[in-house]
Chains A and B, each alone.
Chain A
Amino acid sequence: MNAISILLVIIVAFFAGMEGILDEFQFHQPLVACTLIGLVTGHPTEGIILGGSLQMIALGWANVGAAVAPDAALASVASAIIMVKGLGSADTTTAINTAIALAVPLSVAGLFLTMLCRTIAIPMVHFMDAAAEEANFRGVEMWQLLAIGLQGVRIAIPAAMLCMIPAEAVTSMLNAMPAWLSGGMAVGGGMVAAVGYAMVINMMATPEVWPFFALGFVLAALGDLTLIALGVIGVSLALIYLGLKDLAKQGGGAGGGSGDPLGDILNDY
């Protein structure tokens, strides 16, 4: 990597780090971060493929309440840098698969870093309190921006350090990896997406919505249905279900009786 690439990588890393906490523009999502790092290092296609693979794993990672999820920002940025370094001599598939496997431990490291930043932010808001006392708008704004910058630096520093590691070290490490290890990691990578989906399911599942999961599962086996088509089916099902549920409520209220139409019919016999 030349100096300009390294500088751009660090900028991308800084943005990813800020977004890791802000969660607005989504620069920290693998699909965006890996693509950007691929672009600035001259390997756009590989970056996009890595981003797509990691995105599938990270779909269910979200910060809910005060709980912190595995960190997508460090995972995407660092694994993309490692992949770019590995592309020099190792073949593309190996480089991408190894990067995917490394992303998981990296996401844990990122998690600890973000918890650290969230702790450092406590004294920062106390400085904001002090600034508020004097109606010092500039002071409040400065501490807010510094706190965001801190989260950016959280990813930018590890990214810069990774850039300094010579490419030969990464490639020789990749080449030294036996086939069973890289193959096994690819197999594992195929399975880990299940964890993210399970996190989403646990968040939303009620006995009422499980049938929709089953419907989605069997319909997806029809290869002709694109994800957009499946989305249309899903939206329609949701609208139909909610509409019918409303109707059932109104019917039960207006019809009086036992509120059980089938039971009423049976009783009439």
Chain B
Amino acid sequence: MSERILLKNIDTTRPGPPCSYDRYVKGGGYEGARAALRMTPLEVQQVVKDSGLRGRGGAGFPTGLKWSFVPMDFKGQKYLICNCDEMEPGTFKDRALIYNDPHQLIEGMIIAAYAMQMTKGFIFIRYEYRKGAESVNHAIAIAEKNGWLGRNIQGSGFDFHLETHLSAGRYICGEETALINSLEGRRANPRSKPPFPQTKGFLGQPTIVNNVETLCCLPHILARGASWFKSIGTEGSSGTKIVGASGRVRRPGLWELPMGVPMRTVLEEYAGGPAREHGFKAVIPGGLSTPMMTPDQFDTPLDFDSVAKAGSRLGTACLIVFDEGDCMVNVTENIIRFYARESCGFCTPCREGIPYIHDIVKAIRDGAGCEGDLPTLDEMAKHIMHTFCAFAPGAQGPFLSAITKFRHEFENYLRAGAPAAATPAAGRQS
């Protein structure tokens, strides 16, 4: 295995108590923040730009470029927000980071806050991670005591006040403008862009929202340099990535690997190959909202550009794996049910369209499909692209790829009805 950087202090197989301040510092912790505080804010931004760091929340937008839209001459309050609303099905990387090494995240936030001169920060944590939030709160208190948070950090003259916000739960909160609305005490409906949060975000002030893993890369970049970070991974995607695998693999788990590791290596070497007697059938590469990939694409390197070239998205790089024993009609019903339930209800194509798709897919699965259902699904897949935010297009990814790549399975259901094995277990209410 290659060098563990973000997971240095974390045993992903056996989560224990979070890494203590002393252990974190002994391992080189807070050296990145120390280095940043010796530079000017713009120099720190330049290091991050030079490192080629791209957002680990799923979109892969260059972090330095995102930051550069924050007006540095703005005199009022600016805010830094960490998005720890990890609810993307199949994704379990940020949990490992905040439960086990909260100081790494805090250090990353100090660096980001200093680079953009943001004196207030929030960590937005999903309700189900409330025990993790307790670890983070404890670490914040320790960091304050050691002069890393609060007023005049390490004598630099820079102030940064950080607190956690425990969400009341809803998948859409992970969308950055919905997250900002939620933090303001509103319904988590996404906002229209522009204006972008960088100029008008939380309470109308310049705001940056970054993912946990993105922020956790910063201490290492600042401590070891942009060129070191760029030397790992690929030309367009530098650094390591926390890659996960779940579903039909023998050893599901999380591994920190250089960007560009072939999907097959993850599936076969790290995840131990198929869990059952069946061969692999498909992989959803980056959390649920990315198009399915098939075994002929398993040599694809796991980096932003290669996965995009293969017609999907790297997303969160947490692979969801299906084998030949899985019925893709049944799988698609589960996928679409999730989106139908979690739609925020704000715009019509999403609120009405996704449940409509679910009704049809469920009817097909239950043996009650009719001729014309597949063309209707094709049509609906187009309509749900015309929505206010990226939620419904996210749903379209796995859905459209399923009805395209595994169309014969849907056709079999329409011809012969539902096979007995695919009917849901007794007592199940969906």
Do A and B come from the same complex?
no
Interface residues of A (CB under 8 A from B): none
Interface residues of B (CB under 8 A from A): none
